[in-house]
A and B are shown apart, each in its own frame.
Chain A
Amino acid sequence: MIAWTIYLTFAGAVIVLLLPRAFARWIALLAATAGFVVTLVTFFRPDVDLGHFTTVVRVPWIPALGMNYHLALDGISLTLILVTGLAAISAILFSWDVSERAKEFFFWLLLVVGGSYGVFLSADLFLLFLFYELVIVPKYFLIAIFGSTNKEYGAMKLTLYSFFGGALVFLGVIAAYVAGGSFDINQLSQFQFPSQLQWWAFPVLFLGFAVLAGIWPLHTWAPTGHVAAPTAGSMLLAGIVMKLGAYAALRVAMNLFPEGFRMWRTTFAVLAVIGIVYAAAVALRQRDLKFVIGYSSVSHMGFVLLGLTTANVFGVSGAVLQMFSHGVIGALLFAVAGTMIYRRTHTRDLDALAAMNLRRALPFAAFTFVVASAASMGIPGFSGFAAEITILIGVWKAYPAAVWVVGAGMVLVAAFTLRALKRSFFDDGLGSAALSAAAPGLSAGKISESSRDGRAALAPITVPEKVGAALLMFATVAVGFYPKILLDRIQPAVEAMRFLR
Chain B
Amino acid sequence: MAYLITLLILIPVVGAIALYVGRPGSPRGVALVFNGLSLFYSLMAWQKFDATAPGLQLLERHTWIPSIGAEYIVGIDGLSLLLVLLTSLIFPFAFSAQKLERGACALLLVMQAALYGTFTAQNFVLWFLFYEMSLVPAFLLIKIYGGENRDYAAVKFFLYTFLGSVAMLLAFLGIYFAKGTFDFVKLAELGKSGLVGGNARWFVFGAIFLGLAVKVPVFPFHTWLPDAYQTAPTGVSMVLTGALSKMGVYGFIRLLVPLFPNEIKIAGPWILTLVVCSIVWAPFAAWAQRDLKRMVAYLSINHLGYCLLGLFAITAGPTPASIDRHAALSGVFLQIFNHGITAAALFYFVGLLEQRRGSRGINDFGGLMQCTPLLCGWMSVAMFSSLGLPGLNGFIGEFLIFKGSFAVAAGFTAIAVVGLLFTAITFMRAMQSLFSGPISESCAGFPDLLLGEKFVVVPVTLLMFAIGLNPQFIFNTFNATVAHMARLFS
Contacts and interface: CB of A to CB of B under 8 A. Distances in A.
- Chain A–chain B contact at Cβ < 8 A: yes
B1 interface: no
Given A379-B135, A407-B167, A389 B68 contact: yes
A426 B144 contact: yes
Interface stretch (A13-21, A117-125, A216-224, A396-404): A396-404
24 contacts: A359-B144, A374-B136, A377-B162, A379-B136, A380-B130, A380-B131, A380-B133, A389-B68, A389-B173, A392-B169, A395-B173, A396-B170, A400-B200, A404-B170, A411-B163, A411-B166, A414-B162, A422-B143, A422-B155, A426-B140, A484-B63, A484-B65, A484-B67, A491-B67
A414 B160 CA distance: 11
Given A314-B68, A374-B136, A426-B144, A380 B128 contact: yes
A282 interface: no
A478 to B, nearest CB: 13
Interface residues of B, number: 36
A200 to B, nearest CB: 33
Nearest to B200: A400
A429 interface: yes
Contacts, number: 95
B469 interface: no
Contacts of B132: 379-381, 385
A283 B445 CA distance: 53
B176 A393 contact: yes
B136 A403 contact: no
A390 B66 CA distance: 11
Chain A residues touching B, majority SS: helix
Contact of A380 (B63, B129, B144, B151): B129
A484 B177 contact: no
Interface in B90-129: 125, 128-129
Contact of A381 (B67, B129, B154, B174): B129
B159 interface: yes
Contacts of A374: 136
A429 B153 CA distance: 14
Contacts of A429: 151
B69 to A, nearest CB: 9
Top 9 A-B pairs ranked by shortest CB distance? A380-B129, A396-B177, A414-B162, A407-B170, A380-B132, A392-B173, A410-B166, A407-B166, A487-B67
A400 B174 contact: yes
Nearest to B176: A393
A38 interface: no
B140 A484 contact: no
A358 to B, nearest CB: 12
A75 to B, nearest CB: 12
B162 A381 contact: no
Contacts of B166: 407, 410-411, 414
B170 A484 contact: no
A385 B155 contact: no
B270 interface: no
B67 A317 contact: yes
B173 A487 contact: no
A167 interface: no
B312 interface: no
A484 B159 contact: no
B410 to A, nearest CB: 38
A153 interface: no
B432 to A, nearest CB: 36
Contacts of A407: 166-167, 169-170
